[in-house]
Amino acid sequence: MKKLNELTIVEARRGLQEKRFTITELTKACLEQIKKTDCKIKAFVTVCEKEALKTAVKYDQVLGKNLKIYEKKPLFGIPLAIKDNFCTKGIKTTASSNVLNNFVPPYNATVVQKLLEAGVIIIGKTNMDAWAHGSSTETSDFFTTRNPHDLTRSPGGSSGGSAAAVAAHQVTAAIGSETAGSIRQPAAWCGIVGLKPTYGRVSRFGLIAMASSTDSPGTLTKTIEDAAIILSVLAGKDPKDATSNPTPGKNYHQEITRPIKKITLGVPQEYFLPKMDKQVTAVVKKAIKELKSSGFKIKKISLIDPKYAIAVYTIIMRAEVSSNLGRYDGLRFGFSRKAFGQEARRRIMMGSHVLSAGYFDQYYLHAQKVRALILKDFKKAFKEVDAIVAPTSPSVALKIGAAAKDPLFGEMQDVLVEASAMAGLPGISLNCGWVNNLPVGLQIFAPQFQETLILKIAHQYEKNRA
Amino acid sequence: MSKRKKIAKKIDVDYLAQLGNLTLSKKEKSLYEKQLGKAVKYIKILKEIKTRGVEPVAQVTRLENVFFPDQVDKSLTQKQALSNASKQRKGYFVTQRIKWE
């Protein structure tokens, strides 16, 4: 039998409704697992033990009187971890940077507000690459998070703390954010489900900005169903974020149980890189065969070589980083700019370079034009296929220390998710097999606002494998 | 390539640090010069893609002219807004004097 901290959201909700255990017991199980394992994994920057237990006791009383509460509050009593770049009122929010090591936000990010209204219990704030700059949590100014499957390896990043916390069953689910790969890559490396919704599907208000034109809050969960439940809570227009989209969100959990129509999945040949880990390639190809035998039509397609997306992403992201980090003056909140770590400094300077007089047209403007071509390329592909499947990462989790050798480490690791992120497409990564006891991720992405479709495909795949 | 040309192509980290309001140590300067040089070399790969006549894209979901309703909304109290200030005086943030020379 599963321990309470190992349950999925669906299982926890059922157990709570059937009064098999209490919210306090569920919360305690997570907190105990953190106490037992986090000295090694180091997923959390802040653990809110007292507050979480206090809320749990209070919620148990509410639940005792009203079992129908889940109709209005779908995450009632569910212990959740939140990446430390979402502002949480009264809870220190650092973005894992020394600059914000004293920052206690006076307001909640919209994502946090919506989760609290849906009844979650915030267990704590998770470690990340500082300012989300990286793909391994090694640029965190505090410490490096370890992969629960092998403590000598990275959990991926930047949402590495959230992914490791879920994989180590320290929480039922977690929230992350992705600019290009920061949810899907750590999900792949930790063997869980990572959902990056369409850009604008979920509000960015109160999310410490990295690259404003691609930042997307999303989920790290144990199952597809759990991702669908949280997305139903988060999706929707927010007047506080002008780029949040007016297209209304859906009850994705209900949607994914509906029968799936005939779907054609595209497999881009360019996404099986020549230098990729051969065993990873084999596992992903096997997963695609499984999709075929479960009724999906598979079609080979061709997309712009992902190596160009690395360059487009490097330019645009760093330009936006240099602008977004301009606000940290150490006067209104946080410490002075002297506290910026190396990676942030490099990115600020590179961003300033591509935006500076004489280089703007050559780099930034040109990159925005290539971005238009990437969007066009996907549009063309989606005339032939409904969604695209590919490996999430070119390798399994790498050893700690690999990032330090390369100033473009993050960009190189995220090569297979950058183009779709630059185009704002929704994408999901889920486990599709193992190489030397390390998980391999399969990504599925689709046209903008087709979250239902990718969740349905992923759900079908998950069901067939189970 | 002559030595002079090589120097001219080097990234001016002092200028970039000034633009980003960053103070760099001597060691950092030489490190970043090398690393930024490597990054710039990589992004030049984009030259291979022709973009003549292509309109640049900044907003991928193509939203345009998003306005707030022109009305007063709830906001932070003065106390909340000042709660993280490094220095405050009489309800104001204390900043350094700004002077152009």
A429 is catalytic: no
Residue B6 pLDDT: 44
Round to whole Å and give the CA distance between A145 and A165. Answer: 10
Residue A87 pLDDT: 98
Q: B81–A365: do the CB atoms touch at under 8 Å?
A: no
Q: Which among A307, A330, A423 has the least Cβ separation from residue B60? A: A423
A44-47 vs A121-126, strand pairing mode: antiparallel
Residue B100 pLDDT: 73
Catalytic, out of A96, A140, A162, A182: A182
Residue A406 pLDDT: 75
Residue B68 pLDDT: 84
A196: three-class secondary structure by DSSP: strand
A293 is catalytic: no
Q: Chain B: nearest CA to A438, how far in angstroms?
A: 31
Q: B61–A448: do the CB atoms touch at under 8 Å?
A: yes
* Tokens read off for A106: 């006076």
Residue A224 pLDDT: 98
Residue B11 pLDDT: 87
Q: Which among A102, A349, A354 has the least Cβ separation from residue B20? A: A349
Query: What chain A residue is nearest to B96 in terms of C-alpha separation?
Result: A331
Q: B81–A372: do the CB atoms touch at under 8 Å?
A: no
If pLDDT is split at 50, 70 and 90, which confidence band does B3 have? very low
Q: A423–B20: do the CB atoms touch at under 8 Å?
A: no
CA dihedral sign, ordered A68, A73, A74, A79: negative
Residue B9 pLDDT: 63
Query: What chain B residue is nearest to A412 in terms of C-alpha separation?
Result: B42
Phi, psi of B75 (to 5 degrees): -140, 180
Residue A136 pLDDT: 96
Query: What chain A residue is nearest to B12 in terms of C-alpha separation?
Result: A353
Nearest to A212 by CA among B41, B21, B50, B63: B63
Rounded to two decimals, the ipTM of the complex is 0.90
A54: three-class secondary structure by DSSP: helix
Residue B8 pLDDT: 45
The residues of chain A scoring below 50 in pLDDT are none
Round to whole Å and give the CA distance between A228 and A452. Answer: 8
* Tokens read off for A406: 């390369």
Mean pLDDT calculated for residue range B67-95: 93
Residues in chain B: 101
Mean pLDDT calculated for residue range B84-97: 93
Residue B96 pLDDT: 83
Any chain A CB within 8 A of the CB of B92?
A: no
- A445 pairs with which residues across the strands? A388, A427
B5 has a pLDDT exceeding 70: no
Surface of B (9-68) touching A: CB under 8 A: 11, 13, 15-17, 19-24, 28, 32, 35-36, 38-40, 42-46, 48-49, 51, 54-61, 63, 66, 68
Chain B neighbors of A104, CB-CB under 8 A: 83-84
Phi, psi of A116 (to 5 degrees): -65, -40
Q: Report whether A81 contacts A89 (CB < 8 A).
A: no
A158 is catalytic: yes
Nearest to A115 by CA among A9, A213, A31, A186: A9
Query: What chain A residue is nearest to B11 in terms of C-alpha separation?
Result: A353
Q: A345–B63: do the CB atoms touch at under 8 Å?
A: no
Residue B7 pLDDT: 43
| Helices (H), ranges, chain B | 3-9, 13-19, 26-43, 78-81
Q: Is the pTM of the predicted complex or chain greater than 0.90?
A: yes
Any chain A CB within 8 A of the CB of B71?
A: no
Q: A308–B49: do the CB atoms touch at under 8 Å?
A: yes
If pLDDT is split at 50, 70 and 90, which confidence band does B98 have? confident
Chain A neighbors of B55, CB-CB under 8 A: 369, 372
Domains of chain A as residue ranges with CATH: 4-465 (3.90.1300.10)
